[in-house]
Amino acid sequence: MIHLSMETLVGLREAGMEPGAAAAREHLDACALCRAELERLHQRVARLKALPPLRPARDRWPAVRDRVRAERRRQRARFAGLSGLAAAASVALALAVSTLRQPEAGLTPAKIEQTMARSQVLESAIDRIDPESRVLDGRTAGIAQELEDRIARVDRELEMVELTEPQSRDSDLLRLWRERVGLLDALVDVHATRASYVGL
Amino acid sequence: MESFLLADAESVVARARQGEEAALEALYRAFEGPVYNLARRICRTKEDAEDVLQETFFEVCRSIGRYREEGSLWGWIRTIAASKALMRLRRNKYRDTDELHDELVGHLKEETHLRMDLEAALERLSEVSRAVVWLHDVEGYTHDEIAGMMGKTASFSKSQLARAHARLRRWLGEEVAA
Ligand SMILES: [Zn+2]
């Protein structure tokens, strides 16, 4: 008698659609040896599933978090850069239009651009501080994290506003960019305070 | 699984999507164990498995916005982890065959009637065989899914699984046990 191969036995655990499955089952009914072999296979799989879970020796979260933060800052810088260009263009356009008819129309875009420029200055100040290389105490780290989270939320709102109608978005843009600058200011403060502790 | 690992998964995911770090960390804490275990079963070293853990969660943090709730959260994270682990195997130029192991183990067995325990036997399989056994028999992936992740065919996955079981059976000395 030719017994079932391991490939056939392994395949018998599938839904039973394998070619030759019917013949294999017939053999199985008649052959105690192959039935024992299939039982061993089931037991082996059960033992594999029951192996104790292995745990990492080190905490990799700090490394993940630092990469996430670094990438966020890169994206922010890119985003701010692009928006800066768009704003500069819209300011130029607004000024051109305003000289023709509406003297007050150019005010908001100009303010937006000022706020964006301020935002970029703060952003590069934070880059120079290089927060990832510093160890903050628990409370300071908590505050920094909260600020980073809020900046991320503002950035998401900014992206949404960028997609709306140009006529209606300027006041929203200005409000969000101002909020962003406020948060960045606070973040610089947090890191600067920490830096002065290090200096002492 | 996630209801067991992560209470209130829905709100954690919602907050993680907003980029909230505490929520991203909660995801990490909930799933670091199973992700590492999966990676460790596939990779050869602890260091590789830890790197896979890190790469997996970096990817999770980045693309949590693309996760759709119709699938299970653990299923989504697990597939990222499995792909990263398999990518690492490819990069490390794994051996496709375990003939070397056969020779070695056959030799040892003749001399000492060595009977390995399951952990040791699993360790001795080739990386590819071990990955297929683990993904199919423990994690429950189909041959088609494994083939997709490995860039191979389903029949490659099937034959790797059969060969792995033939070897495990021999190395575990089950012919004596039953
Ligand atoms: Zn038989």
Q: Give residue A89's pLDDT band: very low, low, confident or very high (50, 70, 90).
A: low
Do both B104 and B147 map to the same domain?
A: yes
B25, part of any domain = yes
Percent of chain A residues past pLDDT 70, beyond the cut: 76
Cβ–Cβ gap B54/A156 under 8 Å: no
A interface test, pick of B54, B56, B144, B163 with most A CB neighbours within 10 Å: B54
Q: What is the mean pLDDT of residues A51-64?
A: 95
Do both B6 and B70 map to the same domain?
A: yes
Do both B54 and B133 map to the same domain?
A: no
Do both B103 and B87 map to the same domain?
A: no
Global confidence as pTM = 0.70
Task: Using the 3D structure, point to which of B92, B112, B141 is the last residue of a domain.
Answer: B92
Look up the CATH number of the domain holding residue B85. Answer: 1.10.1740.10
Task: Using the 3D structure, point to which of B75, B92, B109 is the last residue of a domain.
Answer: B92
B61, part of any domain = yes
Cα distances from A171 to residues A63, A93, A161, B77, in angstroms, run 39, 17, 10, 40
Contacts of A140 (CB under 8 A, 6+ apart): A190, A193, A194
pLDDT in tens, B102-117: 555 554 444 344 557 8
B176, part of any domain = no
Is the pLDDT at A105 greater than 90, yes or no? no
Contacts of A57 in chain B (CB under 8 A): 46, 50
Cα distances from B150 to residues A58, B45, B73, B87, B147, in angstroms, run 28, 19, 22, 8, 5
Three-state DSSP state, B140: coil
Contacts of A152 (CB under 8 A, 6+ apart): A72, B18, B19, B20
The boundaries of the domain holding residue B37 are 2-92
Cβ–Cβ gap A54/B118 under 8 Å: no
B65, part of any domain = yes
Residues 159-188 of A with CB under 8 A from B: none
Domain range list for chain A: 6-50, 62-102, 109-198
- A98 and chain B in contact, CB less than 8 A: no
Look up the CATH number of the domain holding residue B154. Answer: 1.10.10.10
Cβ–Cβ gap B32/A7 under 8 Å: no
Do both B115 and B86 map to the same domain?
A: no
d(CA A57, CA B78): 20
Do both B22 and B7 map to the same domain?
A: yes
The domain total for chain B is 2
Task: Using the 3D structure, point to which of B49, B74, B92 is the last residue of a domain.
Answer: B92
What is the ipTM score, two decimals? 0.84
Cβ–Cβ gap A48/B138 under 8 Å: yes
